[in-house]
Every structure is written in structure tokens, then in C-alpha cells.
């Protein structure tokens, strides 16, 4: 990860001084605030701000469900109940703002989640940094033969080396030519006086999709959990999953009770279809169920077996 000395100085300054507030404070996330968690070779996730904590979820639920909830359960129990019964609005009462640095092809997948606020670094206005994602050799996976969105075994030997070399060369050349086309010197003056320099909004099209971009990304806790459920999943692409994993750590520090409930009722949960439930009931009654008499397709049966095996 590359934080510029200037960025690091800003982080240190922001962390040096506390201010008094009347708002709820989550100690766990205060300890992380502003610091960059490294992800991939040049990326990071940083908490820039947050609103609310576990108690804010409980407070919102108690507005909705009234005084009765007060005695019925303690906070942790109520949060688990809310998560189990898909009560989403109390979780929407917490909000987090992150600064993320990530490759363009990851950003394109990420942005498909529409329920967040985004301020992305604009390559229409500014010049992107000279940083590209190059996978670690152990991440250089072949296309899976059985699963069209999955990865197979890791590339070896000369093929792996060539792939890495090509990725590096094409990114570098693309970036160098981007810079040449821009023709901007360090002080904004033309690097070469004899040329006009191509508009930034056009030159950027020469960049490869592993170039890093960055954004501020703000989302409520309910939608963050939805994002994490999809992207911290083993089926998610490795390059986005590592960001999701970093955000899981952040959520755990911020709202420990909600995160625990999320693990129990979402990340570690399994959904069975109507047919799967029939099979399950027959199995618990002692019957031997096979795919043939299950009423499920081969694919569903395989997924069912995998879920039962854990």
C-alpha cells in the first residue's frame, strides 16, 4: 500500500486530537478511525466517519416497538431478534463513511450496489496515480472448468510468468502513454512546450482496468451487511472479497453485537427451498433420500449436500 507522506501526516494529525461530543461514541471504531487497512498491493480501506453504535440500533427498535421491548430483552438479545426476523430499519440508523482505494475493475463490480453515497476521484478533473494491481502469483488462477464464474488451479511456470509480465507491461505502457498524451509537467505547465496535451477526460481511456482509483463511500449498516453477505462470500471474486473482509473487521469493532448477529443469521446461515425442506423432514424421519427421489435438480442436490456437510 502506498500512502503518500502527505496523507500519512494528515492521518497522524487527525488522530492526534480528540474533541468532545454529546453523540454516541463507539470505542472500538474510534481506535481504527482514519488509519488505512492495507488491501491488495496498493489499496486500502479507511474509516473516515461513523454515526451510531449497537445502542443506536436498540434505541430505534424501541421507538418502533414501544415501551414493551424495554423489559422483554437485553440489548444483545433484541439485536439478534431483529436480525433473525429481517427487521432492517433499525440497522439503517447506523451509518459509516469509508475511504477506499481499489482497482477500476473492482470498483466496477462494487458500484453495482446502488444504496450508498459515492464521491469518486474524477479522472475528468485530475490525474490518476501511477499504480496498478498485479496479482500475487498464488492468485493467478485458471478459469474453472466446472463453474463459469469461478477460479480453478493456480497457473504455473512459464505461463504464470508470462501473464505477470504482460499485465505489468501493458499497464505500464498504458500509463506512460496516458502521461505523454496529457503532456502535463509537475507544476501543471506543459511537459513539452510544443504540444497542446490531450484533455484528461479523453486520455483516461488509455488506462487499463487494474489502475487504482479511490472514493469516499458512505452506507448504512443494513446495506453494508447486505454488501458483505454477497462479497465476503467464498463465491465472490478474491479481489473484492479482501475488501469485504477488511470491512467485516471494521464492522466487528464498530457494532460488535450487530456483527455477531450478522455472522449467526446471515454469513453462517443457510436457506433451504421448499423442496429441500421436504427432503430434510423425510431424512429426519429416517428415510433415505437420494437425488432421484428428492425432486431436486442435480445442481440443487449438490448444493443441498454441501450445505448439510457444512
Is residue 189 part of the contact set for its own copies (CB under 8 A)?
no
Strands ordered across the beta sheet of 36-39: 36-39, 43-51, 95-103, 212-220, 117-120
The reply to whether 56 sits near its own copies by the rule CB under 8 A is yes
Q: Where are the alpha helices (DSSP H) in 42-103?
A: 54-65, 68-72, 75-84
Annotation says 46 is catalytic: no
Closest approach of its own copies to the CB of residue 68, in Å: 6
- CB nearer its own copies, residue 112 or residue 292: 112
Please say which residue, 125 or 292, places its beta carbon nearer to its own copies. Answer: 125
Q: Which of 253, 248, 249, 246 is nearest to 225 (CA)?
A: 248
> 86 vs 292, which CB is nearer to its own copies?
86
Mark the segment that binds its own copies (CB under 8 A) among 38-46, 242-250, 251-259, 267-275. 267-275
70 labelled binding-site residue: no
Q: Output the smallest distance, CB 246 to its own copies, in A.
A: 19
- Between CA 297 and CA 279 the distance in angstroms is 13
Q: Would you call 102 helix, strand, or coil by DSSP?
A: strand
> Binding of its own copies at residue 166 (CB under 8 A)?
yes
Which among 62, 108, 165, 231 is annotated as catalytic? 231
306 touching its own copies, by CB under 8 A:
no
Q: By CB under 8 A, is residue 138 in contact with its own copies?
A: no
Stretch that binds its own copies, among 37-45, 104-112, 245-253 (CB under 8 A): 104-112
Residue reference for cell 465476503: 232
Kindly identify the residues of this chain, within the stretch 65-84, that bind its own copies according to CB under 8 A: 65-69, 77, 80-81, 84
Q: What cell numbers appear for 1 in the block?
A: 500500500
List the grid coordinates of 144.
474453472
For residues 43 and 2, what is the distance between their CA atoms, to the nearest angstrom? 8
Find where cell 502527505 sits: 6
Amino acid at each position: 500500500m502506498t500512502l503518500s507522506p502527505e496523507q500519512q501526516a494528515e492521518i497522524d494529525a487527525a488522530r492526534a486530537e480528540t474533541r468532545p461530543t454529546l453523540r454516541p461514541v463507539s470505542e472500538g471504531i474510534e481506535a481504527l478511525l482514519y488509519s488505512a487497512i492495507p488491501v491488495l498491493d496498493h489499496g486500502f480501506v479507511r474509516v473516515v466517519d461513523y454515526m451510531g453504535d449497537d445502542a443506536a440500533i436498540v434505541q430505534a427498535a424501541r421507538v418502533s416497538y414501544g415501551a414493551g421491548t424495554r423489559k422483554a430483552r437485553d440489548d444483545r438479545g433484541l439485536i439478534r431478534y431483529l436480525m433473525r426476523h429481517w427487521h432492517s430499519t433499525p440497522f439503517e440508523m447506523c451509518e459509516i463513511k469509508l475511504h477506499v482505494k481499489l482497482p477500476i475493475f473492482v470498483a466496477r463490480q462494487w458500484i453495482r450496489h446502488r444504496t450508498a453515497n459515492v464521491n469518486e476521484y474524477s479522472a475528468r478533473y485530475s490525474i490518476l496515480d501511477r499504480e496498478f494491481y498485479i496479482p500475487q502469483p498464488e492468485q493467478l488462477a485458471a478459469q474453472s472448468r466446472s463453474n463459469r464464474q469461478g477460479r480453478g488451479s493456480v497457473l504455473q511456470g512459464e505461463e504464470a510468468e508470462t501473464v505477470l509480465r504482460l499485465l505489468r507491461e501493458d499497464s505500464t505502457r498504458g500509463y506512460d502513454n496516458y502521461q505523454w498524451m496529457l503532456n502535463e509537467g509537475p507544476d501543471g505547465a506543459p511537459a513539452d512546450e510544443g504540444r497542446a496535451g490531450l484533455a484528461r477526460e479523453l486520455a483516461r481511456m488509455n488506462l487499463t482496468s487494474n489502475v487504482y482509483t479511490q472514493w469516499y463511500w458512505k452506507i448504512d449498516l443494513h446495506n453494508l451487511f447486505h454488501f458483505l453477505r454477497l462479497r465476503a462470500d467464498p463465491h465472490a471474486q478474491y479481489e473484492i472479497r479482501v475488501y469485504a473482509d477488511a470491512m467485516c473487521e471494521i464492522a466487528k469493532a464498530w457494532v460488535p453485537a450487530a456483527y455477531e448477529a450478522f455472522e449467526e443469521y446471515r454469513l453462517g446461515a443457510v436457506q433451504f427451498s421448499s423442496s429441500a425442506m421436504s427432503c430434510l423432514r423425510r431424512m429426519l424421519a429416517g428415510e433415505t433420500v437420494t437425488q432421484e427421489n428428492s425432486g431436486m435438480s442435480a445442481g440443487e442436490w449438490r448444493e443441498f449436500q454441501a450445505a448439510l456437510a457444512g
